[in-house]
Amino acid sequence: MKIEEVSGGICAVKGVRAYGIKEGSKGLALIEGGGKATGVFTLNKLKAAPLLFTKRQLENGRISAVIANSGCANSFTGEQGMKNAEKMAELVASALGVIKEEVAVLSTGPIGAQLNMALIEQQLGEVAEGLTSDDTGSTEAAKAIMTTDTFHKEHAVSIDAGNAERVVIGGIAKGSGMIFPDMATMLSFIYTDAALSEEALRKCLKDAVDNSFNMIVVDGDMSTNDMVLLVATGRSVTVTEADFKAGLNQVCKALAKQIARDGEGATKLIEVRVKGAVADAKNIAREILRSPLVKSAIFGEHIDLMCGRIIATIGSSAAYVNSKGMSISVRNENADAILAVKKGEFMDLSDSARNIMKGKELFIDVDMAAGEEIEVTAWGCDLSYDYVRINAGK
């Protein structure tokens, strides 16, 4: 089995057309492509209207089109919010000739305001006319759903299914702040032309989300609107569940890392790997990335402060700790590396060690030396002055 990265995002998938526009802070994306569908949703108890609406739509097990707006979350908007979500589905059904029950609706933006339905209806006419299977369709749809994102996010892979046949998995995503597992203020639409059962799609998506989107942390806050949708057009051949899962994990991890890299105000992408824990390795990795003290030390490029704060974070967790065996190593994208903590003791963290922190990508390996050699990975970013400015509304 061979997996290769390909261009085109969601439009690399047979049977998918997409497009989007952005007018100031208000954007609209439309994706056309019918097939079996499943989704994963935020665990926030105050779920937004479009999320509740789309969960209901997915009970049919099939989606023919997706509409997503940016600039307004349609969250905490009462009965009118639900009516507006349904109206968006009706507009798409009329424009594309699909049934309303097979339209997924998503929104992202500030909480508490009602949608500008006149603007959405106006934008929809232009977007529907622009639908295309060219690479530009995926890119424009990805740009349309951006909020505080600084770049659009898309990724696609091709899986060798044998007999010169290939299956494609492509995705787009948005997300920059209010990012924490289960999930974050993020949306992702993933399409494949593989022929798979609905049950296989559901199992593979859960596994992929657990290992990607649920392993990114920007600020520790959970949104009301997060959703990942997976739609299989079935236009290609059957692929084994194991091969599809491997490809889907690759797409989701690539998108998750792009979200972490684009964290609000971020100057560094951080990858944390934890091994040797008795249990809760995932929680340890995420708590390290959630700590504002750790993130601030990384922004300040202080390796000694960072390591001390990582130790404090681990010690305050519920995990079993082997203080005399724990080690922490740090490297950057230039392969500069140091063993910062060895078997519970700090090593020499002089100027040469501090220079490692100047990299734009930091890889922090924590060996708990307390349990199994299972390794987990999580991604996040530093905490800069700009994060406060952005979220203060300045």
- Catalytic positions, written as ranges: 185
Rounded Cα distance, 211 and 377, in Å = 8
238, amino acid identity: T
- Kindly give the residue spans of alpha helices, DSSP state H, lying in the chain: 49-57, 78-96, 117-130, 135-144, 198-210, 241-261, 281-290, 292-299, 303-315, 351-354, 385-391
- Cα separation of 133 and 19, whole Å? 9
In angstroms, the Cα distances linking 72 to 84, 117, 337, 370 are 12, 11, 44, 47
User: Residue 282: left if φ>0, alpha if ψ -120 to 50, beta else—which one?
Assistant: alpha
Peptide bond into 215 cis (omega under 30): no
Distance between CA atoms of 176 and 264, rounded to whole angstroms? 5
Q: Who contacts 303 (Cβ-Cβ below 8 Å, separation ≥6)?
A: 330, 338, 340, 349, 353, 354, 356, 357
**Token duo for residue 95:** 């424009």
Is the four-CA dihedral 345, 348, 350, 356 of positive or negative sign? Answer: negative
CA dihedral for 261, 390, 174, 216, sign (positive or negative): positive
The per-residue b/e assignment along 270-281, b for 16 or more CB within 10 angstroms, e otherwise, is: bbbbbbbbeebb
